[in-house]
Amino acid sequence: MDYNEEDPFASFEDLTNLLLKMQKKTFTISGDNNQYKPYMDPRDFNVLWRSYIYSLGQRSELLPRIQDDELDMFEKMNIGEQISKLNIFLRSEFYYCYLCGKQYASEEELYEKCPGITKADHT
Ligand SMILES: [Zn+2]
């Protein structure tokens, strides 16, 4: 699945926003929001939402820029792929469908109630 192909009219800004919103959601749903402190090394957090962690650090201006090859590699993927990876992670780890805007109790419930993995499935 690729969000760019699925929605060719979505602008780059829309996708950037979508990625950021999904990263924020994952940061919360994973419990990282309770762990995170501005002095922490962002490299200790999952690369899928690490750029969001960096943005928190930049806001507090406590973090110097550091070498992060893993994040560089992740960001070399096109934004649709990054979104897709987050989408799949949320579904498999937390039974959360970003498109339903809902966290299900189990994998079974996710498969039963969520219409599918793509945006088109939800319209
Ligand atoms: Zn859904």
Distance 63 CA to ligand 1 centre (A): 36
The pocket of ion ligand 1, defined by CB under 5 A, consists of 97, 99-100, 114
Number of domains in the chain: 1
Ligand 1 centroid–CA 114 distance in Å is 4
What is the distance between the alpha carbons of residues 64 and 90, in angstroms, rounded to a whole number?
A: 29
Judged by DSSP in three states, 68 sits in coil
Write down the pLDDT at residue 58. 64
Residue 20 identity (one-letter amino acid): L
pLDDT in tens, 65-95: 678 999 999 999 999 999 999 999 999 999 9
The confidence score (pLDDT) of residue 64 equals 59
Over residues 4-29, mean pLDDT: 83
- Per-residue pLDDT at 96 exceeds 60: yes
Q: How far is the CA of 82 from the centre of ligand 1 (A)?
A: 18
Q: How far is the CA of 117 from the centre of ligand 1 (A)?
A: 6
At residue 56, the pLDDT reads: 86
Distance from the alpha carbon of residue 58 to the mean position of ligand 1, in angstroms: 33
Structure-token match 């806001």, residue found? 59
Kindly report, residue by residue over 22-60, the tens digit of the pLDDT.
999 999 999 999 999 988 889 999 999 999 998 887 655
Given pLDDT bands bounded at 50, 70 and 90, which one contains residue 9?
low
Print the domain residue range for 55.
3-122
Q: How far is the CA of 19 from the centre of ligand 1 (A)?
A: 17
SS3 call for 45: coil
